[in-house]
A = this chain, B = another copy of it.
Amino acid sequence: MIKVSRLADYAVVVLVAFTRSDDALLSAAALADKTKLPEPTVAKVLKLLAKDNIVKSIRGAGGGYSLDKPIGNISIAEIVKAVDGPIAVTSCVDGATGSCDYEGCCAVKGRWNPVNVALHSALENVTLADMTS
């Protein structure tokens, strides 16, 4: 079963929570409260999203996270990439991290590329806005 991690699922929940709040700046604790998700989990997700600039973070007392792009501009592809790492359908696709044991003798080396491209563009064309409607 092809699937995204649970954390990616949480990421969507958290991001959607932003759109349902009047405050632009929300702390991890506040978001945990809103989403009813465990606070450490929410904190972890937000750190990952911040690293890829999907949310903006402000450190220090009174800090928190904010969403400064419109949600129609945030694709599922970038959320998944931020949380689960690069989208690579097999280990022998272009840009995959590890490499494959059979590379030397393999009959389908690189053949998954078209699949990977298809997958990637499918995920790029779904935005957060599509998931809240």
Instruction: Give the interface of A toward B (CB within 8 A).
Output: 1-4, 6, 8-9, 12-13, 16-17, 20, 35-37, 76, 80, 84-92, 96-97, 102, 105-108, 111-112, 114-115, 118-119, 121-123, 125-126, 130-132
**Taking A36-B102, A122-B122 as contacts, is the C-beta distance between A1 and B107 under 8 angstroms?**
no
Tell me, rounded to whole Å, the shortest Cβ–Cβ distance linking A5 to chain B. Answer: 9
Is the pair B114, A17 in contact by a Cβ cutoff of 8 Å? no
Residues of B with C-beta under 8 A to A105: 36
Q: What B residues does A16 contact at CB under 8 A? A: 107-108, 111
* A2-B108 contact, Cβ under 8 Å, with A36-B102, A118-B123, A121-B122: no
With A2-B4, A118-B122 given, can you name 11 additional A-B contacts, CB distance below 8 Å? Answer: A1-B86, A1-B88, A2-B88, A2-B89, A3-B89, A3-B90, A4-B90, A9-B90, A12-B111, A112-B131, A122-B122
Whether B2 contacts A119 by the Cβ 8 Å rule is: yes
Asked if B87 and A2 sit within 8 Å, CB to CB, the answer is yes
The interface residues of chain B lying within 8 Å CB-to-CB of A17 are 107
